[in-house]
Amino acid sequence: MDTISSDFPIFQRYPRLIYLDNAATTQKPRPVIEALREFYENYNSNIHRGVYSLSEQATDIYERSRERVARFIGADPSQIVFVKNATEGLNLAISNMRSREIVSTIYEHHSTLLPIYRYSKSYRLERDPYRIRSSNIVINHLSNVTGKVIDIQIVRDNNPDAVIVVDGTQYIPHFRMDLKKIDVDFYAFSPHKMLGPTGIGILYIRDPMKYEPLIYGGGTVSNVTERMYRLLDNNSRYEAGTPPIAEAYASSVAMDYLEAHREHLERLDREILKEANRLFDEYRIYPINRDQDVPIFSFYFQRIHPHDVAEILDTAHNIAVRSGYHCAQPLHEHLGIGPTTRASFYIYNSIEHLNRLMEALKNVVRKFT
């Protein structure tokens, strides 16, 4: 076990597991697991409400976590909103484009498509993101099916005055982000896909006072009478109810971990992409596209259902992959294919895992032909 894998207790529990479902969620390193325990053992109390010292400490941890998250993406803490997951963040953003004409792409996840269908007056899904010309744009930064990055700067340059909502869920786990350099209105992502806990999502809002919450309730108001309420003039207006306090803290610890291992991740991504492209030719097993920017590979085999592929990889080879439409059914339809098998790599994977995957896929193909 290399030094990075040894930080992840799950690989001690399952030493033979080759985990390649990282685009769905990643495993958690020990410091992140310990952060959750540390919070509950030492600081547990509700925030922003109590005047006793335990609550003040919990509030301090929560707000310092917000500062850490802000630093991670080049934002100001006042622009960071903690929600349940990226999906909730995207719903919040897109609900503020209610009754407008939205242009998006065919590469989107259902977590953007469904709120677009629900809230827009009308919508169009462009095939080429760089052809978008609109005042209201919703766009992913990196596709969870093709592994391809969309250059958001080009989209902004083409649409200088547009409201732009970006789904950064797959981009943030792999690349540095500086929102001071890219001008977008909303940017959503999920810590659980970058070594952090589930139960929390992050939404960056460039101008937090311009929009309305998606969920209403305690902690969001400055005044409530029998007839009216007045929302707070800060980002707390979006955080109704008890927020994910321990999860915010554990997310900040995940960001520390990721920063400390950033070079390893970048090198690994490059090496896996390079080696994968060589192995695809050697094994004559090809993913649906060959121009990935991160190691997310979706495969489609004639006459073999992807669920069968995933099941054999699991039972015969201890390889965990995902199969299905990956919440991007319109994209699969556009590509003229059915469901696919997706292998996605992250920081604790290795070239050895890639070799084992290719060998296993060869066995599956042999078995069915």
Ligand X SMILES: Cc1ncc(COP(=O)(O)O)c(C=O)c1O
**Of 86, 132, 164, 177, the one binding ligand X by CB under 6 A:** 86
Q: How far is the CB of 109 from ligand X (least distance, A)?
A: 4
- As a whole number of angstroms, the distance between CA 325 and CA 322 comes to 9
Report the residue from 170, 236, 252, 323 that binds ligand X according to the rule CB under 6 A: 170
Least separation, in Å, of the C-beta of 241 and ligand X? Answer: 18
Rounded Cα gap, residues 295 and 353, in angstroms: 12
Residues 178 and 324: their CA atoms lie apart, in Å, by 33
Residue 353 CB, shortest distance to ligand X, in Å, is: 21
**Does 190 help bind ligand X (rule: CB under 6 A)?**
yes
Owner of token pair 């390079």? 274
Q: What is the C-alpha separation between 51 and 239, in angstroms, rounded?
A: 20
Shortest Cβ 182–ligand X spacing (Å) = 17
Q: What angle do CA 36, 74, 268 make, to 5 degrees?
A: 70
Q: Pick from 21, 167, 185, 239: which binds ligand X (CB under 6 A)?
A: 167
By CB under 6 A, tell whether 26 contacts ligand X.
Answer: no
134 assigned to active site:
no
Distance of CA 32 to the CA centre of its chain: 17
Helical H segments across the chain, by residue range = 9-13, 30-42, 53-72, 86-95, 110-119, 152-158, 245-260, 262-283, 306-317, 329-335, 351-368
Q: Does 111 bind ligand X (CB under 6 A)?
A: yes
Provide the greatest CA pair distance for the chain: 72
Q: Is 293 in the site for ligand X (CB under 6 A)?
A: no
- β-strands 319-320, 296-299 pairing: unpaired
Among 215, 231, 285, 327, the one annotated catalytic: 327
Residue 5 interacts with ligand X (CB under 6 A): yes or no: no
- For residues 312 to 351, the per-residue mask of contacts with ligand X, x marking binding by CB under 6 A and - elsewhere, is ---------------x------------------------
Does position 79 bind ligand X by CB under 6 A? Answer: no
Interface with ligand X: number of residues (CB under 6 A) = 15
Residues within the interface to ligand X (CB under 6 A): 23-24, 85-87, 109, 111, 140, 144, 167, 169-170, 190, 201, 327
- Active site (catalytic) residues: 327
